[in-house]
Amino acid sequence: MKWENSISQILGVQYPMIQAPMFGVTTPQMVAAAAKANVLGSLSLGDLPADKCVEAIRATKALTNQPFAVNIFVNAIPQLSAELRIQYAHTKQFVEKLAQQYHLEANIPDIDDIKFTDYHEQVEAIIAEGCKLVSFTFGNFDAQSIQKFKDNGVILIGTCTSVKEAVLLEQSGIDLICVQGIEAGGHRGSFIDADIPQIGGLSLLSQVYDRVKTPLIYAGGIYNAKTLWASKILGAQAFQIGSLLLGTKESALQEFEKQRLRNATEADIILTKSFSGRYARGLKNAFIDALEHTEWVLPYPYQNKLTSELRKLAKANSNADFVSIWAGQSINEYSGSSTTEIIQQLIQETEKFHHDF
């Protein structure tokens, strides 16, 4: 099977496969392990402050001399209105009482104590660190940032969840587009419409392929040779793997979270705004059941900041009811093997499937 194509050449890897940037799951060790399998590792920086971005980038560089991407959030921050202040205070009170019922004393910050990261600071740090592959989600860079990256020889990888978003990314000069199907784990990359487009991944991929000329990466539900091959047939030139790596020894998830995943059924996996104020796919728990479809869900990123300390506390107490465990619809065994080994197995399985096919 011939793996090499335009995307593998652009990314500088042998196989056009990408370890998904999963904020809170991806570690420098996972990125290095993916690179060892001759695919692209992705370091998720999320909304970390610039100095923390630099720390993570340098920690990853210390583990691998192979190319890797960095990924950041480029969402707009809703204006802090008087109404939002009141809603935040009420939500804080509700969540603290809920946590107490489960014997968790959460120290949730007041709204004026929350700090947000301006992605422009991250852009400067990323360029200064010499990173040449940057992926992003929750929006699109402004024209000045795109030009700054281009002037520094950086390849840009945007995320779309609709044809409209793909077209906009292409018109902006983004080099590669990651098509995220509705079945993908974690946060939706949607950024145009208030309501997320609920389009199945393979339908979306096929439609995007017909509308844009930009090379496409596919993310959502890939966990074996058949799912990878299906996306290839529909136009993907690269394949992003996320949920398959959640249980790996390099994953930042704790053992109780990995065990919760291994016990999950298809009925456990839902789309929810409860933890962050932005739709994400993961495992149902007591927190989601209590907040979903209530008034106690603030817009992103305010809800995300409000629940942050609670999630940390729950993690420290091995309490699966108050942590966000993100996962896609393709349930697998969430192997505890290394990222390198799992990716190599997927490559071998795909080559055998292609040969038999």
How far is the C-alpha of 311 from the C-alpha of 63, rounded, in Å? 29
The pLDDT confidence band at residue 64, using thresholds 50, 70 and 90, is very high
pLDDT attached to residue 318? 97
pLDDT at residue 77 tops 90: no
* Of 196 and 297, the one with more pLDDT: 297
Per-residue pLDDT of 239-256, as tens digits, reads 999 999 999 999 999 999
Per-residue pLDDT of 138-180, as tens digits, reads 999 999 999 999 999 999 999 999 999 999 999 999 999 999 9
Task: Output DSSP code: residue 70.
Answer: E
Contact 60, 32 (CB under 8 A): yes
The pLDDT confidence band at residue 234, using thresholds 50, 70 and 90, is very high
With a CB cutoff of 8 Å and minimum separation 6, the contacts of 304 are: 275, 276, 277, 278
Specify the CATH superfamily of domain 6-77+116-251+333-356.
Answer: Aldolase class I (3.20.20.70)
The pLDDT confidence band at residue 328, using thresholds 50, 70 and 90, is very high
pLDDT at residue 354 tops 90: no
Which residue intervals of the chain bear CATH 3.20.20.70? 6-77+116-251+333-356
pLDDT attached to residue 1? 81
pLDDT attached to residue 88? 97
pLDDT at residue 276 tops 80: yes
Question: Nearest to residue 288, comparing CAs of 298, 299, 275?
Answer: 275
Percent of the chain with pLDDT over 70: 100
* Cis, peptide link before residue 301, omega less than 30° from 0: yes
Cα of first residue to Cα of last residue in the chain, in angstroms, is 11
Task: Give mean pLDDT, residues 259-281.
Answer: 97
Element housing 58 (H / E): helix 50-61
Contacts for 295-299: CB closer than 8 Å, 24+ residues apart: 295/87, 295/90, 295/91, 296/90, 296/91, 296/94, 296/95, 297/91, 297/273, 298/84, 298/87, 298/88, 298/91, 299/78, 299/84
Average pLDDT of the chain to the nearest whole number? 96
Return the sign of the alpha-carbon dihedral for residues 26, 136, 57, 9: positive
